[in-house]
């Protein structure tokens, strides 16, 4: 029996959530030998907590790349992965999402001649000021297998000239994780710890650089929260990047004075999902939360003018409000006053996405092996040409 060695590369806490159900499914199949690489440091407490929350084994390898600019992180990840991938000699490199590790791993793998599979391929916000959008476009352009989470993604890829044979619609792995951990989520006592009752609060998250690093955007968002918290309790799990921003300004003390706003540290996966499941509505700039809110039937106000997940708007519970204070307040007050918009769940958001991905990989096993040989040969020839030219 041929065995496919699949190297899975992750780089942030959300990646752990996405890869957990997929890794569990891979381990059920002897045809696949999964390897997990975390681009961050081995002593990152956030990843240790994520592993524990998701019943995941610790990663097999760490690249120990810390924080820094996009360019610095991408370069260091590529440098660290080059030797590791050469030693591991994988049949396939799997990347998820749109963070720096995604584009770094895909570019490194394809340069070395290893085929690449991209989960959440084809998502587009059409806003190239977002670093994530650049990461998505570059990753898709070099990937050999593109697994899409919603119908619009395939249309985007077709417009960009990607061959249809490379694209497989599978759904979103985030819903797999949500359903996989449903019993643990149900047992969370986070509401009791925060003295909250279901549907009596809103949960807000802010983490995108376009908001965190823009003082005017933050001012408008917080002005809306200051107004809305007069009518409803708010819970604000503060992302580490946001924490640094708040501590560097007077915003932390100003927010702490708001009587109906609780600021808490980052929450583990079960606690946060319990908080999201029971909220009246959520205000966020997270793409993942847009999907999770739709799956849970929770109204979502997104702090962006565009979204790479349009199905959450056209089929789900999501509304785009940008960072306009009046619009955020207006949409929030509609919900507080009883107007709850309901949505459906997009096709294949059923908790079976990991199974579809693994079945596709096994079905394409021989094709992947041949692709590996042909791509690897081209990479070797390219290297020889570079050496001779020098």
Long-range contacts of 251-255 (CB under 8 A, 24+ apart): 251/218, 251/222, 254/222, 255/222, 255/225
CA distances in angstroms from 295 to 27, 46, 257, 311, listed in the order given: 26, 25, 34, 11
Q: For the chain, how long is the longest CA-to-CA vector?
A: 72
In the residue annotation, 42 being an active-site residue is answered as: no
CA 85 to chain CA centroid, Å, is 23
The three-point CA angle 46-47-48 to 5° equals: 90
* Residue 160, token pair as written in the block: 């960009």
The pair phi, psi for residue 300, each rounded to 5°, is: -130, 125
Task: Tell me which of 155, 207, 231, 239 is the catalytic residue.
Answer: 207
Query: CA–CA distance from 316 to each of 65, 89, 291, 332 (Å)?
Result: 36, 41, 8, 17
Is residue 346 within 8 Å of 311, Cβ to Cβ? yes
Q: How far apart are the first and last CA of the chain?
A: 42
Q: Which residues are catalytic?
A: 207
């Amino acid at each position: 029996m041929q065995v496919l060695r699949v190297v899975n590369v992750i780089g942030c806490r959300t990646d752990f959530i996405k890869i957990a159900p997929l890794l569990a499914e891979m381990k059920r199949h002897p045809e696949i030998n999964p390897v997990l690489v975390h681009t961050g440091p081995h002593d990152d407490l956030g990843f240790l907590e994520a592993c524990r929350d998701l019943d995941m084994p610790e990663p097999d390898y760490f690249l120990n790349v810390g924080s820094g600019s996009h360019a610095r992180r991408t370069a260091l990840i590529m440098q660290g992965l080059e030797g590791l991938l050469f030693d591991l000699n994988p049949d396939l490199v799997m990347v998820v999402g749109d963070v720096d590790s995604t584009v770094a791993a895909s570019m490194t793998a394809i340069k070395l001649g290893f085929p690449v599979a991209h989960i959440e391929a084809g998502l587009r916000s059409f806003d190239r000021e977002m670093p994530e959008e650049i990461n998505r476009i570059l990753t898709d352009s070099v990937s050999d297998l593109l697994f899409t989470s919603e119908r619009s993604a395939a249309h985007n890829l077709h417009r960009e000239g990607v061959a249809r044979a490379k694209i497989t619609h599978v759904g979103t792995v985030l819903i797999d994780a949500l359903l996989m951990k449903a019993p643990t989520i149900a047992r969370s006592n986070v509401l009791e710890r925060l003295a909250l009752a279901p549907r009596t609060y809103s949960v807000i998250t802010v983490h995108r650089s376009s908001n965190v690093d823009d003082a005017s955007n933050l001012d408008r968002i917080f002005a809306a929260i200051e107004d809305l918290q007069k009518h409803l309790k708010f819970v604000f799990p503060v992302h580490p990047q946001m924490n640094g921003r708040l501590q560097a300004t007077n915003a932390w003390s100003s927010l702490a004075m708001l009587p109906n706003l609780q600021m808490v540290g980052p929450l583990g996966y079960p606690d946060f999902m319990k908080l999201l499941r029971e909220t009246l509505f959520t205000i966020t700039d997270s793409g993942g939360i847009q999907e999770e809110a739709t799956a849970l039937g929770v109204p979502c106000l997104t702090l962006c003018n565009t979204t790479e997940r349009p199905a959450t708007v056209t089929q789900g519970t999501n509304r785009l409000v940008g960072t306009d204070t009046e619009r955020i307040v207006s949409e929030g007050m509609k919900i507080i006053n009883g107007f709850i918009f309901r949505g459906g769940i997009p096709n294949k958001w059923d908790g079976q996405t990991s199974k579809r991905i693994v079945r596709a990989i096994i079905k394409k096993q021989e094709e992947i092996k041949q692709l590996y040989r042909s791509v690897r040969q081209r990479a070797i020839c390219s290297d020889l040409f570079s050496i001779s030219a020098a």
